[in-house]
Amino acid sequence: MTAHVPLEERTVAEVMTMDLLTIAAQESVLMAWELMCRAEVHHLPVVDVEGGFLGVVDAETLTASWEAAGPHRARKPITALLDERSKASVRPAAPVPEAARSMLESGRDHVAVTDSRGALVGLLTARDLINELAGAARHKTAQKSGMPSLYCVEPVLPAESPTATSRARRHAPDPATAPRTGAEGPTESGTSHHGQPDARTRRGTEAQGRPGPR
């Protein structure tokens, strides 16, 4: 029977979560919000194109920064929400107490785990520690690539604002009252585009050719 190793004697690599949902640095705050809602997660590590760790955006930060004045402000890059505290990280071989101290110093409930090159390899959260202490740790499987997964979800914000769309509709001509200009429509000379007199011209000509009442 394997002896139980106390949590304070274990390393971060034994406890951290490796199956991560991340967001690219060029994505927007709106994209981060949508990713969190769809995946039901509370932490989004931000990485560059090479997998380099830039920081972690959590649900609390994202909610506090949300501006209800207009959805277009949500298009600002997600990196605008990163500060020095969000960039705290530890190595996989670090003991769990060291990671816990890092959380306390940054005032966050998580700490990123990076390798010697600065690439993200995992995330340790307060939930991970509680699960370990309660004996309800989730089964963690190492990723084949050693890198966190990156999913891309298209934002639902329309390309044109509703105000501009409604304004364009108000200035659009009414089809019922607009003059016909198609291939069969009349021209100013009274002839159709096929060179034939239109109905009104023919009726006027016929009326001139008929003898009046006697």
- The model's pLDDT over 23-75, given as tens digits with 9 standing for 90+, comes to 999 999 889 988 999 999 999 999 988 878 999 999 998 888 776 655 666 78
Q: Give me the percent of the chain exceeding a pLDDT of 90.
A: 42
Does the pTM surpass 0.75? The reply is no
**pLDDT one-digit tens code per residue, 159-187:** 454 444 444 445 455 555 555 544 444 44
What's the pLDDT at 213?
Answer: 46
Query: Is it the case that residue 78 has pLDDT exceeding 60?
Result: yes
Q: Give me the percent of the chain exceeding a pLDDT of 70.
A: 59
SS (H, E, C) the chain: CCCCCCHHHCEHHHHCECCCEEEECCCEHHHHHHHHHHHCCCEEEEECCCCEEEEEEEHHHHHHHCCCCCHHHHHCEHHHHCCCHHHCEECCCCEHHHHHHHHHHHCCCEEEEECCCCEEEEEEEHHHHHHHHCCCCCCCCCCCCCCCEECCCCCCCCCCCHHHHHHHHHHCCCCCCCCCCCCCCECCCCEECCCCECHHHHHHHHHHHCCCCC
What's the pLDDT at 153?
Answer: 46
- What's the CATH number for 7-150? 3.10.580.10
What's the pLDDT at 50?
Answer: 82
Looking at the chain, which residues constitute the CATH 3.10.580.10 domain(s)?
Answer: 7-150
What's the pLDDT at 49?
Answer: 85
